């Protein structure tokens, strides 16, 4: 944003929160963030990315009971 020269002021902030999540929520986040457009267009399948192994590992490591997650969000601000 800064390099574009379109903004007179730019800043980046990192925000944090504590949320609850389980393996199912983690897997939903992986699919929606990383591969959502490819699944919608049917250009990739869960098998192609080894999602079964990821599901198994998430259930083993995170489980089905909600636990606290420490989540960070990057926010970029630009003022014209």
**47 within a domain of the structure (yes/no):** yes
**1 within a domain of the structure (yes/no):** no
**46 within a domain of the structure (yes/no):** yes
**13 within a domain of the structure (yes/no):** yes
Q: What is the pLDDT of residues 11-38, one digit of tens each?
A: 999 999 999 999 999 888 877 766 666 6
Give the number of other CB atoms < 10 A from CB of residue 33: 8
Q: What is the pLDDT of residues 39-57, one digit of tens each?
A: 667 677 777 777 788 889 9
Domain count, the chain: 1
**3 within a domain of the structure (yes/no):** no
> So what's the pLDDT on residue 50?
75
**56 within a domain of the structure (yes/no):** yes
Burial of 21 (0-12, 13-18, 19+ CB in 10 A): middle
Model confidence at 63, pLDDT cuts 50, 70, 90, reads very high
**27 within a domain of the structure (yes/no):** yes
* pTM exceeds 0.75: no
What is the extent of the structural domain holding 55?
A: 9-79
């Amino acid at each position: 944003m800064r390099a574009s020269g379109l903004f007179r002021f730019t800043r980046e902030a990192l925000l944090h929160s504590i949320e609850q999540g389980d393996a199912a929520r983690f897997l939903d986040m992986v699919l929606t963030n990383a591969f959502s457009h490819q699944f919608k267009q049917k250009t990739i399948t869960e098998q192609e990315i080894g999602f079964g192994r990821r599901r198994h590992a998430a259930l083993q490591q995170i489980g089905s009971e909600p636990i606290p997650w420490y989540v960070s969000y990057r926010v970029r601000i630009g003022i014209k």
